[in-house]
Structure 1
């Protein structure tokens, strides 16, 4: 390994160790370029929120997406977040808007701390959900809107590190069946794949520190230095494949 390689590894390790909170990707403008699905999650939310009396946002991150809908949210709006670094961030961001945040993770098998039939709309953007629990807290006629990161997301990046997909069962087919089994009626279902490009390895690592589940469980920059250096040597931009799917369902 050359001195230059070691300098790169030290820089990357520093970049990857920077603290990450919230879900704002504004700092990547110009360094990360990605295609967009043919649908707009935000526009779909705006279709249902104005008539809603109560709303629950699952896995709100730092509250960024939810606050982007602030003008159409009812006073009775609640949110959950399961990733510990984001809980305090989201609570501080949402509290001034009267939005209560509860630390909760469907991925850990926790049930939603709300009574049956509590909400008109439940939303989940890139957050795990328990379909039966969602159906339980929805009122009759209530809407469930979710956009999910498919388990095959960035699988071509995972192979660079010799890793298998972490959530292979997170697919449109599987989640749609879970929603149907929970008693909801699916009104819309779409899936999409497109490219995402990173300017360099340093940018890639800054991006991935916000979603470490896309990396092997034992990942450190030093442990995977050889694979990262091979990426650095690519002549073309670092291009990988994103996969998303959308479900819109309603409780009978």
Structure 2
């Protein structure tokens, strides 16, 4: 099979629909693989989650992660701001007695002051002042964030804009903001794990699922550079790009 025909087949494979926050179409088949982080978000979170009376999961996606955290606190809320995910989250979580609220983490949240003993946040935006407002005294804020250098090599390889608008978002920046708002940092780590892609179709699927990475992405617009990436993968078997992650455990003083 010639390179052009193979490239076209990989691109066609990437047309598979994406929903919720589930990358198993490429990761579950081994077409992409991610280096493990040196921490486990769930392991950091779980002791506090089990003790909480009332908790909030910010940016729940389609509820995929939260469903695996059962048994739940007596009162559990979840927010999701990405409109296509909201009905998926409600269908998944509301039968489990989770209160699903459509809300973006960058906005003022529709919750009372001092409402939660635990707010957990995995890859969702947040306002430190809002976290301080809705968390009770002595309550925990545990967040794993996507840093400003996330997958920047994909933008470079495709010749796309590398300014996401949050390029300075890092562990040091986040810690400083939380401390200024009245939190005490109890633990933190930052890491740049690789993601390995074994075919260009997996990259196209990935970029379609995270449209904020390259806002004007389409196969036609980036055809030449995608074909170049395809040739690179055919030559060496894969390409690696690096994610950017950090985790913070903070308590409201």
> How does the TM-score come out when normalised to structure 1?
0.92
User: Which residue of 220, 223, 246 corresponds with 2:221?
Assistant: 223
- CA RMSD across the alignment: 1.7
Worse overlay, 120-129 or 20-29 = 20-29
Contact preservation (8 Å) 1:194, 1:241:
yes
1:106 is displaced (CA, Å) by 2.4
1:74 match: secondary structure: coil
Structure 1 residue runs without a partner (length 5+): none
Q: Which residue of 2 aligns with 1:123?
A: 120
User: Which residue of 122, 132, 143 corresponds with 2:129?
Assistant: 132
Number of equivalenced pairs: 245
1:120 match: secondary structure: strand
Q: Distance in 1 between matches of 2:39 and 2:134?
A: 26
1:175 is displaced (CA, Å) by 1.1
Q: Which residue of 2 aligns with 1:42?
A: 42
Q: Distance in 2 between matches of 1:7 and 1:189?
A: 44
Q: Distance in 2 between matches of 1:223 and 1:140?
A: 51
- Residues 4-83 of structure 1 correspond to what in structure 2 (within 5 A)? 5=4, 8-9=7-8, 12=11, 14-27=12-25, 28-29=27-28, 30-71=30-71, 73-83=72-82
1:106 match: secondary structure: coil
Q: Distance in 2 between matches of 1:188 and 1:140?
A: 18
Q: Distance in 1 between matches of 2:8 and 2:129?
A: 45
Contact preservation (8 Å) 2:32, 2:198:
yes
> How does the TM-score come out when normalised to structure 2?
0.91
Worse overlay, 206-215 or 236-245 = 206-215
1:181 matches 2:180: yes
2:73 match: secondary structure: coil
Q: Distance in 1 between matches of 2:148 and 2:242?
A: 12
Q: Distance in 1 between matches of 2:9 and 2:217?
A: 15
Q: Which residue of 2 aligns with 1:114?
A: 111
Change (3 A) 1:25 1:16: closer
Q: Distance in 2 between matches of 1:153 and 1:46?
A: 26
1:80 match: secondary structure: strand
Contact preservation (8 Å) 1:149, 1:243:
yes
User: Which residue of 137, 142, 146 corresponds with 2:139?
Assistant: 142
Q: Distance in 2 between matches of 1:19 and 1:182?
A: 41
Structure 2 residue runs without a partner (length 5+): none
1:16 is displaced (CA, Å) by 4.6
1:68 is displaced (CA, Å) by 1.1
Worse overlay, 127-136 or 161-170 = 161-170
1:112 is displaced (CA, Å) by 0.7
